[in-house]
Structure 1
């Protein structure tokens, strides 16, 4: 009897403690923040993009001023000699294309874009950008669960989407993780708009999620390509909003300053 009483007291205390968490008023329920490939190689590294750094303050704001039940950070994670590397194809250069055969359908081919070597595990270029990495490390296991999705690890097939490779041959754990956490809406940010952000957003729609793209927290090599991609994503049913408008539509509790020094 004493044991039951002690357990009841503990459960009551735990429930009251959870309800009293000071940042709970800022929690976006059933919503996950998805950070696509915000890695050094796509910012100042081998596939650097002069427009990419502009998204960082917006991404930081989403982490500093909001609480999330789940955060996803995807990373390109290419082995040496990956099919997307121009260096893996004799006589080819970055910007060229090749035709490759599908892994599970030898009669079907797709066009593969070729790039400079990038996001090779163990290199600086594969690492998440420092300001973002610091924030995610702070959050891990304390305020929000953070899951890192390593994609495009197969030598023979590329993967733009954080959900699945380009041939829909092998899925990552992303969909199952979102399901486990009860996520219905994904807030998508990151690099680059017309490749991995596009692929993840479209697959999110296909899998039944409400997908919201924060347009000033994503970018690509030109304003024209970004605009074209955004129009395509709208056609798929992706909601496109700037961060100011999204915050106005999704108010949270009072701001805190505990991470402003990061």
Structure 2
């Protein structure tokens, strides 16, 4: 179990991609994506350690439907495997890549690390630990080990993609993983339910 009112010194709150483009009105809006932000900020106040991830794509990124002249949300096969083709989103330096305004005055202030992902032109990145080729490390696992952090508590967007794969990889890397369900939202509600079930089956604690 975990006491969210008094987290341990070896716990880290990992806030996944709380960015403008994933909130209502954004290029890849997650339904109710802005709703967890106050909850995330309140949690960040309680944790001694906070990490934020930030989707950070170059223009013409390989995961963008526009790069392939394809319809958004269609699928293709790339050298590293199956790939959903997304609307252009979280483009480096653009307003949509910025953190949600509530996060900028909350969890971001508490963050010890902001980890940018998805910046390699030829490979997408869902997980905070690996690019989608499953061989390119982001460096997060090494950082957590060096700091003696053992349990990752996941919140943010989107539950059925970046949150799920980050939590799965945390477990695979030997960390404990906790999902705070009411501090996430999914692109597809059915996908969100499946993500929760999959994480619980792999040993994650669902709060």
TM-score after normalising by structure 2: 0.92
Structure 1's 227 and 130: CA in aligned 2 closer, same or farther, altered over 3 A? same
The offset of 1:222, in angstroms, is 3.8
RMSD: 1.5
Structure 1's 158 and 54: CA in aligned 2 closer, same or farther, altered over 3 A? same
Please tell me whether the aligned partners of residues 189 and 215 of structure 1 are also in contact (alpha carbons under 8 angstroms): yes
- In structure 1, which of residues 8, 33, 38 is the aligned counterpart of residue 13 of structure 2? 33
Q: Which has the larger radius of gyration?
A: 1
- In structure 1, which of residues 197, 221, 224 is the aligned counterpart of residue 187 of structure 2? 221
Aligned: 1:184 with 2:150: yes
Structure 1's 217 and 200: CA in aligned 2 closer, same or farther, altered over 3 A? same
The offset of 1:225, in angstroms, is 2.1
- The CA deviation string for residues 173-194 of structure 1, in whole angstroms up to 9 with x for no partner, is 2111101111010100010011
Match of 2:177 in 1: 211
Match of 2:100 in 1: 129
Give the distance between the partners of 1:201 and 1:98, measured in 2 at CA: 25
Please tell me whether the aligned partners of residues 51 and 221 of structure 1 are also in contact (alpha carbons under 8 angstroms): no
- The CA deviation string for residues 116-175 of structure 1, in whole angstroms up to 9 with x for no partner, is 1000111111011111111245335xxxxx101110111111110000111122101211
- In structure 1, which of residues 150, 153, 156 is the aligned counterpart of residue 122 of structure 2? 156
Give the distance between the partners of 1:137 and 1:211, measured in 2 at CA: 21
Show structure 1 runs of 5+ residues with no match: 1-24, 103-109, 141-145, 242-262
The offset of 1:27, in angstroms, is 5.5
4+ residue segments displaced more than 6 Å: none
Structure 1's 89 and 227: CA in aligned 2 closer, same or farther, altered over 3 A? same
Please tell me whether the aligned partners of residues 38 and 128 of structure 1 are also in contact (alpha carbons under 8 angstroms): yes
Q: Count residues with an aligned counterpart.
A: 202
